[in-house]
Amino acid sequence: MDALVEQFFSTLQARTPRGLRSPVDGVLRVDLYTGEHTDHWVVTLRSGRPVAAPGYAEADTVWRSDADLFERLVTGESQPVAALLRNDATLSGDVELFLAFRRFFPPSPRARDPRTVGAVEPETPA
């Protein structure tokens, strides 16, 4: 299993205050496939606190994608909602749980604050 994916799941709790703003309860399973092999991760959110572990379990929400896409999500190179809209991933179950979970992914390294995109820098007097 890829080190980036393992690191992502092992650091969920440390990133909770920034990543999850409201208490959400439920179980989300992440199915990551590579060819014929599928790895499973189970994320349990109770009172907004995530606990992640490798393994298979029944879940309220199931995310399924290839492992390469998930690595791009973990690094911010791709975004989860965009992946769903492109049909690069599938989601079944409680969408609210997924919307809470997506906050754990980092923003794109190329993302810019829309308030500053069209801003004109003031000229400085010489």
Whole-structure pTM value: 0.82
Q: Which pLDDT belongs to residue 120?
A: 63
- What is d(CA 24, CA 47) in angstroms, rounded to the nearest whole number? 6
Judged by phi (left if over 0) then psi (alpha if -120 to 50, else beta), residue 40 lies in beta
> Domain ranges in the chain?
3-104
Buried/exposed code over 20-47 (b: 16+ C-beta within 10 A; e: otherwise): beeebebbbbbbbbeeeeebbbbbbbee
Residues 27-68 have pLDDT tens digits of 999 999 999 999 999 999 987 788 999 999 999 999 999 999
The answer to whether the CB of 24 falls within 8 A of the CB of 48 is yes
- Candidates 81, 92, 24, 88; CA nearest to 58 is 92
Six token digits for residue 62:
């199931």
Residue 63 forms beta bridges with which residues?
Answer: 30, 91
The answer to whether the CB of 30 falls within 8 A of the CB of 40 is yes
- What is d(CA 43, CA 100) in angstroms, rounded to the nearest whole number? 12
Answer whether CATH 3.40.190.10 is correct for domain 3-104.
no
What count of Cα atoms within 13 Å lies in the side-chain half-sphere of residue 120?
3
Residues 73-112 have pLDDT tens digits of 999 999 999 999 999 999 999 999 999 899 888 887 776 6
